[in-house]
Amino acid sequence: MKQPAICPKFEKAVSLLSQKWTALVIYQLLSGTQRFSEIQSAIGISGKVLSDPLKDLEEKNIVKREVIPETPVIIEYSLTEKGRSIEPVIRDIERWSKQWVQEESTSS
């Protein structure tokens, strides 16, 4: 029950970005190589919630994972060329959000 009139490549890209934390992880890595725990505390999510999209992004060759045999072991994540090429998308979202999204008073 699905005969897409919409370009399947575009659909795939959209479905990537529609994973909850994916865009935020890429955004975070745009400012350079970071460790698991750094990304985690920057975004403010739990281990699993970060490791799921990271695995997916690694598999899609958007993020590179490097093991550094320190003590204890350190893992560094960075964007690949494919990953860095998403930057315009992220920057446009950023620009749009600044112009059109209003901050909500979530004071409780």
Partner DNA sequence: AAATTAACTTACGTAAAGTAACTAGATAAG
Partner DNA sequence: CTTATCTAGTTACTTTACGTAAGTTAATTT
Identified binder of DNA from the candidate list 32, 75, 92, 96, rule CB under 7 A: 75
Counting contacts by CB under 8 A, is residue 28 touching a second copy? yes
Counting contacts by CB under 8 A, is residue 86 touching a second copy? yes
Identified binder of a second copy from the candidate list 4, 59, 73, 107, rule CB under 8 A: 4
For DNA, the closer of residues 99 and 101 by Cβ is: 101
Rounded to the nearest 10 degrees, the angle between the axes of helix 22-29 and helix 87-100 is: 110
Whole-angstrom distance between the N-terminal and C-terminal Cα of the chain? 44
Query: Which of DNA, a second copy, none does residue 52 bind (CB under 5 to 8 Å by kind)?
Result: DNA
Query: Which of DNA, a second copy, none does residue 23 bind (CB under 5 to 8 Å by kind)?
Result: a second copy
SS (H, E, C) 12-68: HHHHHHCCCCHHHHHHHHCCCCEEHHHHHHHHCCCHHHHHHHHHHHHHCCCEEEEEE
**CB-based contact 65:40 (threshold 8 Å):** no
Kindly indicate which of the ranges 5-13, 30-38, 84-92, 94-102 contains the residues binding DNA, using the contact rule CB under 7 A: 30-38
